[in-house]
Amino acid sequence: MNPHDYHFNYAPYRLTGTVYGTLLNDRHALAALGDSVHEPPYKGAPKAPVLYVKPRNTFRPSGARVITSQATPEWEVGGSLALVIGRTACRVSVNDALDHVAGYTVVADLSVPHESFYRPSIRFKARDGSLIVADEVVAPEAVADPGALTLRAYLDGQLVQESSLSSMVRPAAQLLADVTDFMTLSPGDMLLLGVPHGAPRARAGQQTSVEIRGIGAVHASFVGDER
Cβ proximity of 138 and 132 under 8 Å = no
Full-model pTM: 0.89
Q: What percent of the chain has pLDDT over 90?
A: 70
So what's the pLDDT on residue 10? 47
Q: What percent of the chain has pLDDT over 70?
A: 85
47: CB partners within 8 A, 6+ apart: none
pLDDT tens-digit profile of 161-219? Answer: 999 999 999 999 999 999 999 999 999 899 999 999 999 999 999 999 999 999 999 99
The dihedral built from the CA positions of residue 15, 19, 25 and 26, taken in this order, carries a sign that is positive
pLDDT tens-digit profile of 10-62? Answer: 444 456 789 999 998 999 877 777 766 656 666 666 788 989 999 989 999 99
Domains within the chain, CATH numbers bracketed: 3-224 (3.90.850.10)
> What own/partner pairs with CB < 8 Å and gap ≥ 24 does 44-50 have?
48/178, 48/182, 49/22, 49/25, 49/170, 49/175, 49/178, 49/179, 50/22, 50/23, 50/24, 50/25, 50/117, 50/120
Residue of higher predicted confidence among 34 and 94: 94
Cβ proximity of 24 and 158 under 8 Å = no
Q: What residues form DSSP beta bridges with 207?
A: 221
